[in-house]
Amino acid sequence: MGALVDITKCIGCESCVVACRLYNGLEPGQNEGYRTAQDGNTELAPNKWTVIQSHRTEKSEKQIRRFVKQQCFHCLEPACASACFAKALQKTPEGPVVYNEKLCVGCRYCMIACPFGILRFEWDKPFPRVLKCQMCLGRLADGQMPACASVCPTGAITFGERDKMVGEAKNRLTSNPDLYTGQIYGVKEAGGTSWLYISDVPFEQLGFRTNVPEKPIPEYTWQVLRWTPFIFVGWGALLTGMYLYTKRRAGVHEEEEMYAPVDDDGK
Amino acid sequence: MKDCASDVEKKEITRRTFLKMATGAGLLAGLTGALAGCADKNPEHAGGKGWLPYQYNVAGNLPAQVRGRVPIDADNPSIVRDDRKCILCGQCLEVCENIESVYGYYNLPVVDETICINCGQCSMACPSGAISERDDTQKVFEALADKNKFVLVQTAPATRVALGEEFGLKPGTWVQGQQVAALRRLGFDAVLDTNFTADLTIMEEATELIKRIKGEVKKPLPQFTSCSPGWIKFCEYFYPELIPNISSCKSPQQMFGALAKTYYAKEKGIDPGNILSVSVMPCTAKKYEAQRPEMNASAAYWKRDNLRDVDVVLTTRELARMIKEKQIDFTALPEESYDQLMGEETGGAVIFGATGGVMEAAARTAYFLITGQEPPALFLNLTPVRGLAGVKEAAAEIPGVGTLRVAVSHGMANGRKILDAVREGRAPWHFVEFMTCPGGCVAGGGQPRTAVPPTDAVREQRLAALYKADASLPKRNSHENAEVAALYHNLLEHPMSELAEELLHTEYHSRADKLERLFAKVV
């Protein structure tokens, strides 16, 4: 499954943010009620799996404002899951990359692995978790959209089969080439993601990481990690060999000493 | 042999060896399970333990009738939103779209601002109280505690029929006297009445109307009223080509603010820089209006850039909060009168709080200014423009001029009907009143939330109280206000004089570049 975010349709109402909080039972922090302009944009947090960030930029020499929804991109080949030796992060057949806190050992390798910098760690908890958007797996199982997509009043989020979302994005770009930039973010980034974006402003102006490699991140790690069994076995064999060699040498040395001719001194 | 036996004894399972073995086995099992990812047969994922309102739990892409909520900027001067209380019921969007016709009437993408007319009707419809007015009470408390500040307050016509509801009184209870008393107990140095400038607005606006009809002012007809700041912003966004139709008169709040730091300051010998001008309004858009860059006539008058005509705007709800915070027993307060100089009122000013009120008051004074005679009974009870019908029309004969045709609307969705007619050149009216809020100021976005969403029953009770007060007052026409006459005598000379233009009139500007207008609602 996948979602298509049309940035040109977002009005910044943050309904999706509230829906995410309500459905996932995320407790708001004490200071998360009223916000002032001075507070700036909110960031993703363990209890905020999606946020809307406001960007002021220019288009055709005019000041414009755009709103960008942030959440886990649910990569097709997730680096976080590949980095997680405890299998706490797993890619499900339906598309979501989900987190199981019962398996998590808190090593935070996933956070280092994520090319989009999405995952958040509960630094203030005695038994911390690493949290992120789960794409509302339970709702998907019931044939419903993720909470955020279901509440959007302007239709800025469309949800469905990923292939269809890519097709829908292409349709919009071709039917309105004057409006959109022509790029679909998420088709190739990090090997492809389940969340796709289209925009009328270049993505680099909207805070997107545009230097994400197109090759899936796990492929890079695999180039190194595939040697692990050989190194594991080879290193063991080498050390065993060296152990046996030194042991034998020590034995020979003892034997030689034992049977060495006694000095004439007779000592 | 003995030695061998002791070795066997040593290898028996002791408590220590058992614990070591059990721990090792547990660790091994845990590690194996974790590595295999199969320790939990039914893996649980985080989240999904909460709920969503009914309308969002539909399969697929079925359209829900009410979906989402209105966008509110963090720097919106009128309203704020507490995300912890929002339940995504969609009532705010319903009002914004269907009552005020704002959301859904502009194309996307947004340009560079969140489109909002600051009316606060969303806060009236919000069942969880997540949307509320921006609280400015602390600014006032601080000023009241400052001995060097002269804190002056004006109260709008509509607050006196609603404030009591915050203290358990029936909707529409007349609490003008208690409100004055409460403001004095809070420590305001002068308690004055916006009704004074409501009468003044009528003098200026009726004069302007006559000049337009006679062709002395080169501005189009019909003339639109300009007292409701939400409506002004609406027109600037959606009907900028009709801005010349809007009366150049400022709203009563802003006329009062301009005079407070000029006329009042001079007459009382107070440095305008030491005055904190506070207003108590039924309206959240007044907070935005007071911040408009144009609203600094006193700064131009004194050539002191830092002066604002109105410094702080409180809603009726905020005033109630201040009274409660100071533990003033509101219902036990005696009825007190406003201070002099800018505190007199007439019936014409009182009905400013009702839909059709500005129109009726203006018609009365226009009749007088044209004929030189007091208006007849029809003008004192212009019933066709009263009541809660969305669009109302009336025609009245004025000797020497002919038939004065007027129209009244409240709620901007109703206003669009008139505005579209004017734009298409099929408007027979001379004068049109627009009120942003349904029912007029009595049901403004800053009024007590006696019924959520607001009901016509509450609106009618508040309206009835205003018309009852109008009927019982000795002076019912704005031109009879003696303090207004004194103002003209002492300072302004006559309506629309040069100084009156400087202090009491303004210009409005198109905001069409902030959005791409849609003339029909987005489906």
DSSP string, B251-285: PHHHHHHHHIIIIIHHHHT--GGGEEEEEEES-SH
Query: Per the domain annotation, does B492 fall within a domain?
Result: yes
What is the DSSP-derived secondary structure letter of residue B489?
I
Both B242 and B338 in one domain: the answer is: yes
- Contact at 8 Å (CB) between B178 and B330? yes
Interface test with A, best of B44, B52, B86, B105 (most A CBs within 10 A): B52
pLDDT, mean of residues A233-256 = 91
> Is the CB of A23 less than 8 angstroms away from the CB of B44?
no
- Contacts A–B by Cβ distance under 8 A: 169
Task: Return the C-alpha torsion angle B380, B385, B388, B391, nearest 10.
Answer: -170
To the nearest whole percent, how much of chain A has pLDDT over 70?
98
User: Is the pLDDT score of A226 beyond 80?
Assistant: no
pLDDT, mean of residues B9-31 = 75
> Is the CB of A13 less than 8 angstroms away from the CB of B35?
no
Both B83 and B145 in one domain: the answer is: no
Q: Is A197 annotated as a binding residue?
A: no
First to last CA, chain A: 87
Q: pLDDT by residue (tens digit) across B118-164? A: 999 999 999 999 999 999 999 999 999 999 999 999 999 999 999 99
Both B105 and B211 in one domain: the answer is: no
Q: Is A116 annotated as a binding residue?
A: no
What is the distance between the alpha carbons of residues B505 and B499, in angstroms, rounded to a whole number?
10
Both B100 and B155 in one domain: the answer is: no
Q: pLDDT by residue (tens digit) across A46-63? A: 999 999 999 999 998 899
- Helices B252-259 and B194-214 cross at an angle (nearest 10°) of 110
Query: Per the domain annotation, does B45 fall within a domain?
Result: no
> Is the CB of B51 less than 8 angstroms away from the CB of A11?
no
Q: pLDDT by residue (tens digit) across B370-384? A: 888 888 888 888 888
Question: Over chain B, what is the mean pLDDT?
Answer: 91
**Amino acid B350: pLDDT:** 93
Query: Per the domain annotation, does B46 fall within a domain?
Result: no
In terms of CA atoms, which chain B residue is nearest residue A143?
A: B59
In terms of CA atoms, which chain B residue is nearest residue A139?
A: B48
Query: How many angstroms from the chain centroid is the CA of residue A174?
Result: 30
> Is the CB of B49 less than 8 angstroms away from the CB of A25?
yes
Amino acid at B152: L
Residue B148's CATH number: 3.40.50.1780
Both B462 and B383 in one domain: the answer is: yes
3 state SS of B365: helix
Q: Is A220 annotated as a binding residue?
A: no
Prediction ipTM score: 0.86
| Residue in A9, A25, A151 nearest the CB of B56 | A151
**Amino acid A254: pLDDT:** 85
Query: Per the domain annotation, does B21 fall within a domain?
Result: no
In terms of CA atoms, which chain A residue is nearest residue B39?
A: A103
Query: Per the domain annotation, does B473 fall within a domain?
Result: yes
Residue-level length of chain B: 523
User: Is the pLDDT score of A99 beyond 60?
Assistant: yes
Interface test with B, best of A59, A87, A165 (most B CBs within 10 A): A87
In terms of CA atoms, which chain B residue is nearest residue A13?
A: B71
Both B92 and B147 in one domain: the answer is: no
On the 0-12 / 13-18 / 19+ scale of CB atoms within 10 A, B300 is: middle
Both B74 and B104 in one domain: the answer is: yes
Of B106, B134, B162, the one marking the end of a domain is B134
Interface test with B, best of A4, A6, A15, A130 (most B CBs within 10 A): A15
* A7 neighbourhood in chain B, CB within 8 Å: 109
Q: How far is B38 from chain A (nearest CA, A)?
A: 9
| Residue in B46, B80, B114 nearest the CB of A129 | B46
Both B467 and B326 in one domain: the answer is: yes
User: Is the pLDDT score of B74 beyond 60?
Assistant: yes
Q: Tell me which H or E stretch contains B419.
A: helix B412-423
Q: Which range is least confidently modeled, B53-67, B97-111, B122-136, B451-465?
A: B53-67
Strand-strand pairing, A157-160 and A2-6: antiparallel
Whole-prediction pTM value? Answer: 0.89
Q: Is A202 annotated as a binding residue?
A: no
Q: Is A263 annotated as a binding residue?
A: no
**Amino acid A219: pLDDT:** 80
> Is the CB of A9 less than 8 angstroms away from the CB of B109?
yes
Q: Is A110 annotated as a binding residue?
A: yes
Both B278 and B253 in one domain: the answer is: yes
Better-scored residue on pLDDT, B466 or B383: B466
* B32 neighbourhood in chain A, CB within 8 Å: none
> Is the CB of B80 less than 8 angstroms away from the CB of A142?
no
- What radius of gyration do chain B's Cα atoms show? 31
- Supply A228's token pair: 């692990």
| Residue in B58, B72, B108 nearest the CB of A9 | B108
Both B460 and B357 in one domain: the answer is: yes
State the pLDDT confidence band at B225, using cuts at 50, 70 and 90: very high
If we measure between CA atoms, which residue out of B386, B292, B357, B336 comes closest to residue B186? B336
Both B129 and B176 in one domain: the answer is: no
> Is the CB of B88 less than 8 angstroms away from the CB of A137?
no
User: Is the pLDDT score of A267 beyond 90?
Assistant: no
Q: How far is B55 from chain A (nearest CA, A)?
A: 9
What is the domain range of residue B276?
137-512
**Amino acid B1: pLDDT:** 44
* A11 neighbourhood in chain B, CB within 8 Å: 71, 108, 110, 114
| Residue in A11, A32, A150 nearest the CB of B56 | A150
Determine the Cα angle at B44 with ends B41 and B49, to 5°: 150
Residue B115's CATH number: 3.30.70.20
Q: Which residues pair with B276 in a beta bridge?
A: B151
Q: Is A232 annotated as a binding residue?
A: no
Interface test with A, best of B32, B75, B88 (most A CBs within 10 A): B88
The domain tally of chain B equals 2
- Contact at 8 Å (CB) between A194 and A96? yes
> Is the CB of B52 less than 8 angstroms away from the CB of A153?
no
**Amino acid A100: pLDDT:** 94
- Contact at 8 Å (CB) between B75 and A37? yes
